[in-house]
Amino acid sequence: MAKCPGQDTQQWGFDAIFDVECPRCHSRIEFFKDEVRRRCKGCGEVVFNDRMDLGCAKWCPSAASCVGPDAAKAIELSEQRKSRRADLRLLLDQVPEEDQEVKELFKTLYSEYPGEDRVFDTNRLYTVQEREPELFERATRAFQSYLAEKQAVASREAQARARTEEMLKHDQRQKRPEPAAALENGS
């Protein structure tokens, strides 16, 4: 199989090698643009390359053979992590600016949750209810607001996809020659 141009190091520019800061110890980690992850020499944290753009590997059926099965899995995990971080940002946006206590609670719950399938374990939020009922109430309101906003975003995205599909259908109909016109031109 021929290498795709994005993977050919002879085609790389000056920005193909760059440093990323470790989120845990803030050491600099050198990445090549095609590397999915590296282990920090300072603290051992596995750091993902957020600047890596192998968008084609997300949809290409040959991704596993092109970038390797481990890299394909790592790309999928990286996408899950990006989505989870975006969810955390959306959640924090729902918290009033002056309520830093709720923001810190959400950040703590986020960092304690080992999975990538959700922002945090909501059962852990309920442990706060017993100790600090007011904090729990404020956090619950913000979380409900987050869920409503996430649903609204999903709805807007679905509507946009539907409009795009409709436009593409319409565009394809415009490009097809009329059967009668095709017969006249062929005679």
pLDDT-based confidence at residue 186 (cuts at 50, 70, 90): low
pLDDT-based confidence at residue 3 (cuts at 50, 70, 90): low
Instruction: With beta carbons less than 8 A apart as the criterion, state whether 139 and 106 touch.
Output: yes
pLDDT value at 151 more than 80: yes
pLDDT at residue number 180: 55
3-state SS of 74-143 is: HHHHHHHHHHHHHHHHHHHHCCCCCCHHHHHHHHHHHHHCCCCCCCCCHHHHHHHHHHCHHHHHHHHHHH
pLDDT one-digit tens code per residue, 96-143: 999 999 999 999 999 999 888 899 999 999 999 999 999 999 999 999
pLDDT-based confidence at residue 170 (cuts at 50, 70, 90): confident
pLDDT value at 57 more than 80: no
Contacts of 180 (CB under 8 A, 6+ apart): none
pLDDT at residue number 160: 93
Which amino acid is present at 181?
A: A
pLDDT at residue number 37: 85
pLDDT value at 174 more than 70: no
Q: What percent of the chain is predicted at pLDDT more than 90?
A: 44
Residue 17 to residue 30: CA distance in whole angstroms = 7
Mean predicted confidence (pLDDT) in 31-50: 87
Residue 174 to residue 172: CA distance in whole angstroms = 5
pLDDT-based confidence at residue 1 (cuts at 50, 70, 90): very low
pLDDT at residue number 35: 82
Residue 49 to residue 1: CA distance in whole angstroms = 26
Q: What percent of the chain is predicted at pLDDT more than 70?
A: 84
The structural domains of the chain, with segments of one domain joined by +, span: 16-45, 81-180
Which of 3-17, 63-77, 99-113 ranks highest by mean pLDDT?
99-113
